Amino acid sequence: MKKIASLSAGALTAKAHAMYGDILGADIYREMLGCRSIAELAAFLRDHTAYASVFGDLARVRIQRARFEALLRKYTMTRIASLAAAEKALGGSLYRALIMDYDAELLITCAEYLGSEGVGESLQFVPAFYRENSQLNEQALFRARDLDELDAALDGTPYNRLLDGFRAGAPFSVRALELLVDECVNTRTEQLIQDNYSGETRSALLENLRMRADMKTVESLYRMKTYYPDADARRTGVLSNTVTAFTQSERTALLECKDAAALTQVLKRSAYGKLPGLFKAGVIEHKTNEAMLRAHIHQLRYSTIPQVVLISFVGIQQNEMTNLIHISEGIRYGLPPEEIAAFLVTKENVRASET
Amino acid sequence: MRKRKFAVLRLLIASEEMDAVCRALKQYGFRPQFDTETPTSAYHGMEKKSGGDSPYTHTLSHLRFVLDVAGKPLPEADIHAALPEDWHEKAEALYKTCRTLQKEKTQLQEQEDACRQGQKKLELFGDLTVDMQDIAECTFIRVRFGHMPAESYERMRALYADNPYVEFFPSFSDGGEIFGMYFAPRDMAQRIDAIFASLLFESLAIPSLSGNTAEIGTEFERSLHILETELSDVEQRLERFFAKEEETVRALYAALAGAESLFALKAYATCCKGSYILTGLLPEERLRELYAVLENSKQVYVIRKGCVKQRFATA
């Protein structure tokens, strides 16, 4: 069965809407900004929010930054897994796209730890749903200490050709691998959507996927054109991603523009030219995240396609995790609340930038 | 709030009558004000707004400490009480005795707290049958006591099963948290610590005593028993001290507080050729009573300069 029946679709949408009710609001963020330590922040989340489920048993131990982030990730992944499992149970196949996102994260984390003895701190508490459905051998990847072992760990998985370029002599870096993994995961997700969905659902899901990939590309290009305007963007592989809403001529123009101002002009003529807030002053990551959150909130509220609602909820939940990590980092480095608040992308920011 | 009517008074008081007049003024609710109209240069001798630091403040704080330790409320200031000649020596002696006993009690309580904390921490490592002293003195290995999440422990067992240096000895499990220790050869300590750090291991400092955990536990029990006996002895001595000296402390405090309030009033006065000039406000309805009291004073002159209406709180 490839499509979710309409009754079940309603159940999935209702579940996503109900879970959206636990997303943190402006008041909670304001109170969190007043916390003076990560322990205080964790205690606040435990006492006043749905995060009690992960911070509940920390009474005896003193929480540190690494554990805090790992638990945030656990909470986020558990909620996404809960929705994805429901979708899988209803006969959907979009959960595989979420598993591929996890695969990408796992591959990049393991690559970061090559040459060291440790394992990824942030992936300590991954829910069983991801492990059971992933085609990767998690333990073999965690054990890998060099490129050969990493390559061997990928044998027999859909990613087995991923490291061929590096093995043929291309210089290895985590950033280069990240570009490859993104390209691979996006292409596979695109294929998954093409194979399993049609009509409006397919277009909406592809639009979402392309926007996510393109926003990442825009961030990289902006950074490059701002800090290294003379570098040849063609050689960096920034635009290697083929899952995109940019036309071929737009892609060429994006690569050839001289600076960030010229890049803005090209973007204004593209499919993203009318995104509110994308061209205002500020940090590029903040603007792209705001654009993504705006799209996700809109889709979650108004879309009648359950898969789109699911993907939108995932985006909103991940944005919340990023916000909480920003707050914990800000507290750790003793930044004043207003400075930390400037890094946050919230529903209220999005609403304010619309008016 | 209703406004009250105040008479503005200016008093010229001979120095020998200053104390008695100040008491009367205090009694009838006189509120002194700095005399901004009288030029300082018009007087010889003392400066305006004189008075300096109160000689009673320091002693009062000591007596406050004594009453605080006794858990008694502070008595009201008594402006009519006579202050004994040796008030300072008496108050200091009381303070010294109380402070010595209190210090002794605090030290014993701190030791007791440390013992209980140590006992609590030791409970987490209770199942380890190793000699803590021996471990602390190891030359070639380092030992880390601490805890890690249960998930990380499972992950460690799966990922590092073939690494003989990555071994964790659990001693206590508290739901999702496992307490225990690991060893690391000194030359590899950094690497092993990095592995455990990536597994979210957090170290705990535990008491350095000799013997295994059971022996140390017994030692803690014995120490706690001694400390409790000593603590109860100090508490009894403190109780006896308060039973004997409480009345003295309260009386001394009340008299000193009264003396200080009179001193504070005098600080508003301007000194002029052996007399004082004092300006301030007095509730209109109490003016007649004050005049009646001051009638017998031969060397006090009161000039009424008018009246003002003020709220009570700001008068």
Mark whether B231 and B93 lie in a shared domain. Answer: yes
Phi, psi of A110 (to 5 degrees): -65, -35
Mark whether B96 and B115 lie in a shared domain. Answer: yes
Q: Which residue, among A210, A200, A211, has the nearest Cα to A306 in the 3D structure?
A: A200
Does any domain span residue A99? yes
pLDDT value at residue A2: 46
Is A66 in Cβ contact with B149 (below 8 Å)?
Answer: no
H/E stretch holding A108 reads helix A95-112
Q: Which residue, among B142, B149, B147, has the nearest Cα to B165 in the 3D structure?
A: B142
User: How many whole angstroms separate alpha carbon B314 and alpha carbon B93?
Assistant: 40
Mark whether A247 and A318 lie in a shared domain. Answer: no
ipTM above 0.95, yes or no: no
Which of B123, B159, B178, B192 best probes binding to A when mutated, by most A CB atoms within 10 angstroms? Answer: B159
Does any domain span residue A236? yes
Beta-bridge mates of residue B22: none
Name residue B25's amino acid: L
Tens digits of residue pLDDT in A110-144: 999 887 878 877 788 899 999 999 999 988 998 88
Mark whether B246 and B298 lie in a shared domain. Answer: no
Give how many domains chain A has, as a whole number. 3
Burial group, residue A156, by CB count within 10 angstroms (0-12, 13-18, 19+)? exposed
Residue A222 structure tokens? 């902006």
Contacting residues of B for A120, CB less than 8 Å apart: 198
User: How many whole angstroms separate alpha carbon B280 and alpha carbon B269?
Assistant: 10
pLDDT value at residue A214: 92
Mark whether B158 and B91 lie in a shared domain. Answer: no
The residue count of chain B comes to 315
pLDDT value at residue B310: 65
CA distances from B227 to A57, B102, B112, B122, B222 (A): 34, 15, 6, 19, 9
Mark whether B231 and B262 lie in a shared domain. Answer: yes
pLDDT over 50 at B43, yes or no? no
CB B208 within 8 A of CB B133: yes
DSSP A279: T
Mark whether B220 and B105 lie in a shared domain. Answer: yes
Is A142 in Cβ contact with B159 (below 8 Å)?
Answer: yes
The nearest alpha carbon in chain A to B146 belongs to A61
**Confidence class for position B47, pLDDT limits 50, 70, 90:** very low
Q: What percent of chain A has pLDDT over 90?
A: 52
Does any domain span residue A288? no
CB A222 within 8 A of CB A284: yes
Tens digits of residue pLDDT in A303-344: 989 999 999 999 999 999 999 999 999 999 999 999 999 989
Contacting residues of B for A119, CB less than 8 Å apart: 155, 159, 195, 198-199
- Asked if A125 reaches chain B (Cβ–Cβ under 8 Å), the answer is yes
User: How many whole angstroms separate alpha carbon A80 and alpha carbon B263?
Assistant: 73
Mark whether A76 and A99 lie in a shared domain. Answer: no
Contacts of B151 (CB under 8 A, 6+ apart): A124, A125, B176
**Confidence class for position B309, pLDDT limits 50, 70, 90:** low
Mark whether B215 and B257 lie in a shared domain. Answer: yes
Give how many domains chain B has, as a whole number. 3
Residue B287 structure tokens? 């003016």
pLDDT value at residue B50: 44
pLDDT over 60 at B314, yes or no? no
For residues A62-83, average pLDDT? 91
Mark whether B85 and B150 lie in a shared domain. Answer: no
What number of CA atoms fall less than 13 Å from residue B213's CA on the CB side?
Answer: 18
Mark whether A111 and A40 lie in a shared domain. Answer: no
CATH value at residue A39: 1.10.132.50
Does any domain span residue A285? no
Is A62 in Cβ contact with B200 (below 8 Å)?
Answer: no
DSSP per position, A127-166: -HHHHHH-SS-HHHHHH--SHHHHHHHTTTSTTTTTTHHH
Alpha-carbon gap: A224 to the closest alpha carbon of chain B (Å): 32
pLDDT over 60 at B207, yes or no? yes
Does any domain span residue A287? no
pLDDT value at residue A106: 93
User: How many whole angstroms separate alpha carbon A323 and alpha carbon B149?
Assistant: 24
pLDDT winner (highest mean) among A5-14, B45-54, B69-78: B69-78
Q: Which residue, among B34, B194, A182, has the nearest Cα to A190 in the 3D structure?
A: A182
What is the domain extent for residue A267? Answer: 197-274
pLDDT over 80 at B121, yes or no? no
Give CB contacts under 8 A, 24+ apart, made by B45-49. B45/B271, B45/B272, B45/B273, B46/B270, B46/B271, B48/B270, B49/B267, B49/B268, B49/B270
pLDDT over 60 at B51, yes or no? no
Mark whether A302 and A250 lie in a shared domain. Answer: no
CATH value at residue B89: 1.20.1460.20
Name residue A115's amino acid: G
Mark whether B86 and B229 lie in a shared domain. Answer: yes
Mark whether A129 and A176 lie in a shared domain. Answer: yes
User: How many whole angstroms separate alpha carbon B125 and alpha carbon B171?
Assistant: 5
DSSP B74: P
CATH value at residue B148: 3.30.70.2750
Other C-beta atoms lying within 10 Å of the C-beta of residue A334: 8
**Strand B202-203 to B141-149 pairing:** antiparallel
Residue B19 structure tokens? 């104390």
What is the domain extent for residue B22? Answer: 3-52+268-314
Contacting residues of B for A142, CB less than 8 Å apart: 155, 159
CATH value at residue B274: 3.30.70.240
Using the structure block, give the residue that is written with the tokens 């209703």.
B2
